[in-house]
Amino acid sequence: MAEMQCPQWGRIVESKGMRHTFALLLIAAALPVWAAQPVRARHGMVVSRERHATAVGLEVLNNGGNAIDAAAAVGLALAVTHPSAGNIGGGGFMLIRLADGRTTFIDFRERAPLSASRNMYLDAAGKATQDSVTGYRAAGVPGTVRGLEYAIKKYGRKPWAELVHPAVELAAKGFPVSYGLAQSLRGTRGLGGFPESNRIFLKSGKFYEAGELLVQPELARTLERVQKLGSRDFYEGETARLLSKDMAAHGGLVTEADLKGYTVHERAPLTGTYHGYTIVTAPPPSSGGVGILQMLGMLDGTGYEKGGAGSATVVHYMTEAMRRYFADRSEHLGDPDFVKVPLTSLLSPHYIARQRASIDAERATPSSQIKAAVFDGHESVDTTHYTVADAEGNVVAVTYTLNGGYGSKVTATGLGFLLNNEMDDFAPKPGEANMYGLIQGEANAIAPGKTPLSCMTPTIVLKDGKPVLALGSPGGPTIINTVLEVIVNVLDFGMNVQDAVDWPRFHHQWMPDELNVEAGFSPDTVALLEKRGYIVKRTGAQGEAAAIRWNNGWLEGAPDPRADGTAEGH
């Protein structure tokens, strides 16, 4: 990665692999000298975290597959090439907008094992342990293999075996480790504590260098069985037998019965409107779609955008919307198959108007003064995201995860894939913070077979019934705010999609009461925010958005320069 200094505009970073230049703008300047350009194509586009997976998706489109086929192939390839989050040992969400205008949401999120219990991660003193974060007991029942197969059987056109094949090849023959992956593996804590993870990903302490081949024969054999036998192998066959045996030997909870009983849920997406656009987004058990619609609703009518992108005024209004939403999230959001989520109340225009009116135009409202709403009755983390569009008009936004980076740090013996630590996305102790600092309530308490609440927020924006933007991001609770910021950067501030992704980000989640800002915010802006009453903390990179925009007959792909994101089209 080459770097040069520009005294007026800050640091310019150029990455040949990303096919575009990222200008880290100084917000105090408010204007870039030139705009970063997205990757443009006429017929199809794939944007993902890793170049081999992006290339796999484009090849599927070139060979007659649709966006759903390509999305499945990308997800399987990422399970090989992006081990910190790509997975067959985790789960996620797929948001689809079909060429005929139909939309659907495929929930293949992990589930709590049948032997899970409400207080399973509390010690004798009633304090939360680390068992929900590291080790075999942290893993929920994986959903990725069954979810991807479900999607292509219902909405794709290519044979399953053909879509799995590139992942088999990448695992069996290996791929060159990128500099970023080498550094990630070297710097990750916990992998060395589990023999299979230490051997496969750390070379037993010798570590991978950039350019070395990472060959994963155990994962290749697992994928070969899945290629030949479909998801039946993973949930009822040899893979299921080996995984449940390994779990039993190490105190894990996932059994053959858990795997056999895993089902995919297809749900209706949430929809709303904002400034003449239709927002199609993730329903519960994602908390993200509710957040996007609620926060956009709070911003609508404030005139906040007149302050200009990156101004203290804009950050103030958006932050106040964020903290009000996250307070509601802590109390009301959970698995809709287990708890009654008050969606109608949370998204009612009257309630959102009340929330909007509570924002002080000049001062931050302390989080201690913001409480979750009380309604009268109910009505009926390390992660990765990729986005695919085809020539027919099908659009797919997929966010899937192991939760923390490299999940539970455990690689299943003889199977080659990392296990998730998704059980920490429940509230191990309702009312206390999880690994992301999120406070969660009884609605997200652990129960057998329940789905943990998620922040994953795949989203598609329509205008007059046609797609104009599709996106998502990893990042735990920051996902929701990252997606919000990219949306308003395009819709309200007129940025091209690459600038919208590149623009410095910020995050507030109600508790802890602090505003995190990326590099790129000027000291003057930070000082103005502190004067309004914010506790501002500088933070590292927030999220890794992957976005596609439709613009005058062009598909514009925008990978995130915060990572090794890539976009390819045809």
Rounded to the nearest 10 degrees, the angle between the axes of helix 160-173 and helix 67-81 is 20
- 401 token code pair: 């995860």
Full strand arrangement of the beta sheet holding 515-517: 506-507, 515-517, 536-538
Residue 515 pairs in a beta bridge with 536
- C-alpha 387/C-alpha 563 separation (Å) is 15
Element at 97 (helix H, strand E): strand 91-97
Per DSSP, the residues of 483-537 read HHHHHHHHHTT---HHHHHHS--EE--SSS--EEE-TT--HHHHHHHHHTT--EE
Strands 213-214 and 2-6: unpaired
Are the C-beta atoms of residues 460 and 492 closer than 8 Å to each other? Answer: no
Q: CA separation (Å) from 325 to 82, 178, 329, 367, 372?
A: 32, 38, 6, 11, 8
Length of the chain equals: 570
Strands 536-538 and 515-517: parallel
Per DSSP, the residues of 250-307 read TT----HHHHHT---EEEPPEEEEETTEEEEEPPTTBSHHHHHHHHHHHHTTS-GGGG
Are the C-beta atoms of residues 485 and 478 closer than 8 Å to each other? Answer: no
Q: Find the largest Cα–Cα distance for the chain.
A: 62
Q: Kindly report the CA angle at 424 between 233 and 76, in degrees rounded to 5?
A: 35
Q: Which of 188, 383, 459, 478 is an active site residue?
A: 383
Q: Which residues contact 100 (CB under 8 A, 6 or more apart)?
A: none
Full strand arrangement of the beta sheet holding 2-6: 2-6, 10-15, 20-23
- C-alpha 360/C-alpha 308 separation (Å) is 18
- C-alpha 315/C-alpha 515 separation (Å) is 10
Residue pointed to by tokens 């750390």 = 202
- 328 token code pair: 């509601």
- 428 token code pair: 């191990």
Buried b (16+ CB within 10 A) or exposed e, 466-490: ebbbbbbbbbbbbbbbbbbbbbbbb
Q: Is there a catalytic annotation at residue 383?
A: yes
Q: Which residues contact 535 (CB under 8 A, 6 or more apart)?
A: 513, 514, 515
Residues annotated as catalytic are 383
